[in-house]
Amino acid sequence: MKRVAFWALMVTLIAYQPIATDTYLPALPTIARVFATDAAMVQWTLSAFFLGTAAAQLFYGPLSDRFGRKPVLLAGVAIFLAGTIACLLAPTIETLIVARFFQAVGCSAAPTIARATVRDVFAREHAARALAYLGAAMGIIPALAPIVGGVLLTAFDWRAIFVLMAAIAGVTMLGLLGFFHETNTRPDPHALNLKRMGANYREMLGERAFMGFALTVAFSIGGLVMFLSGSPHVIITGHGVAADVYGYYFAAIVLSYTAGTLAAGRLTLRLGIERMVLIGAVIGAAAGLTQAGLAWAGERSLLALLVPQGFYIFCLGIILPNALAGAIGPYPTKAGAASALLGFLQLTTAACVTIAMAYAVGWTQLSMSSGLAAMSVLALGCFWALAWRARDRRVLDPAEARATEAVYTVGRRPG
């Protein structure tokens, strides 16, 4: 019973971010109407969430290394719960934006520390298997979240989505108190040394290969954020699709990520990390340019939007696991710092993209498709100019390759 409860808790923690973002997407047009504001202002509720998550994750890893996983997790979930209640009671759009920021600060603790916990509990190879099973949740939950959000929005109103988030946070706190035992048996008293943290980050920012992989991830995620942020306005408002039906379109697109990850798991050992990222980036850029080309040619149907987007998300499933492994691999003793910096860069990019799009041109099928094309081309360019040219200096040993395949093969039984 305790083992099942532990793994249920880990899956829930890993899924906190898609629960807090994807469940909420169908409500964006409704919130704009309720608060009598425009899409650009509502977009800040997503941008503030990305900024809060980006800033907080730089500190949660070191905090849990210093004080232990359990107290920091409890604090993070408590902040998330408080922020969620504030969202639920928000009387104005400005209050909702601020509440979403604090909700994100708490949310960031859950996946960051859950992965660290798995590394604490298992040896390297077994941790890879455990993370592979947890990874399956990241292919399923983002697909289900907007469906659930759409149903709640249709049956009740937008506040019901935050009631669900608050309930999940409350159950999580009970689970942490009842079934989670501290896994960090050797707290590091120097983990919060700002000088050491700064030196680690400076070293990584100065490494061409790391920055090549990191920027590839950041701009690739930027393309995904184009769809996350723009699709509710384009599909629900522009094409007149009901909020609960929107979730099914979203799910079909997100599940293509799982297919891409399965392909990555099968081919990475054969082709290598750099070639896999290059293949994914080239096909992703082709998909982004195709979607933009159709939009500029006047073809604005849902099919013209969703088919290229599906190919792009499929390529994202190839790019992300390999690029993340390529970036973190050279830092075995600083994996937490490298992971945090990667997350900071990608979420900061996501926030900037949503703000720029919302205020510069607004969300239309043409602007969303053009933004996707730009992000996909930037991802390919950064990878080619930085990481690909440094590939001869990056060698993945067989043991690390096997662990990488296991970690990033979603939905496949390792071993």
Measured CA distances, 319 to 190, 347, 354 (Å)? 34, 16, 21
| 148-174: b (≥16 Cβ within 10 Å) or e | bbbbbbeeeebbbbbebbbebbeebbe
H-helix or E-strand containing 66? helix 39-67
CA 387/CA 252 separation, integer angstroms: 32
* Radius of gyration from C-alpha coordinates of the chain: 20
pLDDT of residue 400: 45
**Rounded (10°) CA dihedral 58, 60, 62, 64:** -170
By the 10 Å C-beta count (0-12 exposed, 13-18 middle, 19+ buried), 4 is classed as exposed
Q: What six digits make up the tokens of 252?
A: 């079909």
Look at the block and give the residue holding tokens 């994100």. Answer: 104
pLDDT of residue 308: 93
| pLDDT per residue as tens digits for the range 211-251 | 998 899 889 988 888 888 788 888 888 888 887 788 888 78
- Sorted by sequence, the CB contacts under 8 Å of residue 278 that are 6+ apart come out as 383, 384, 388
CA proximity to 190, closest of 203, 199, 179: 199
CA 53/CA 114 separation, integer angstroms: 15
Look at the block and give the residue holding tokens 């298992």. Answer: 122
| pLDDT per residue as tens digits for the range 181-210 | 887 777 778 767 888 778 877 888 888 888
| DSSP assignment of 188-223 | -TTTT-HHHHHHHHHHHHT-HHHHHHHHHHHHHHHH
Q: What six digits make up the tokens of 300?
A: 């604005």
pLDDT of residue 274: 84
| pLDDT per residue as tens digits for the range 17-63 | 888 988 988 888 899 899 998 877 888 898 899 889 888 888 887 78
- Sorted by sequence, the CB contacts under 8 Å of residue 61 that are 6+ apart come out as 112, 113, 116, 336, 337, 339, 340
pLDDT of residue 415: 32
pLDDT band, residue 399 (cuts 50/70/90): very low
Q: What six digits make up the tokens of 268?
A: 């990475």
CA 113/CA 76 separation, integer angstroms: 10
- Sorted by sequence, the CB contacts under 8 Å of residue 162 that are 6+ apart come out as 84, 85, 87, 88
pLDDT of residue 119: 62
pLDDT band, residue 2 (cuts 50/70/90): low
Asked whether residue 332 carries a pLDDT value surpassing 70, the answer given is no
Q: Average per-residue pLDDT in the chain?
A: 81
pLDDT band, residue 391 (cuts 50/70/90): low
pLDDT band, residue 90 (cuts 50/70/90): very high
Residue ranges of domains in the chain, CATH in brackets: 2-179+206-407 (1.20.1250.20)
pLDDT band, residue 406 (cuts 50/70/90): very low
Asked whether residue 290 carries a pLDDT value surpassing 90, the answer given is yes
By the 10 Å C-beta count (0-12 exposed, 13-18 middle, 19+ buried), 54 is classed as buried
Cα diameter, the chain: 61
Rounded percentage of the chain residues whose pLDDT exceeds 90: 25
Measured CA distances, 90 to 23, 35, 95, 273, 352 (Å)? 18, 10, 5, 46, 24
CA 20/CA 284 separation, integer angstroms: 26
Asked whether residue 393 carries a pLDDT value surpassing 70, the answer given is no
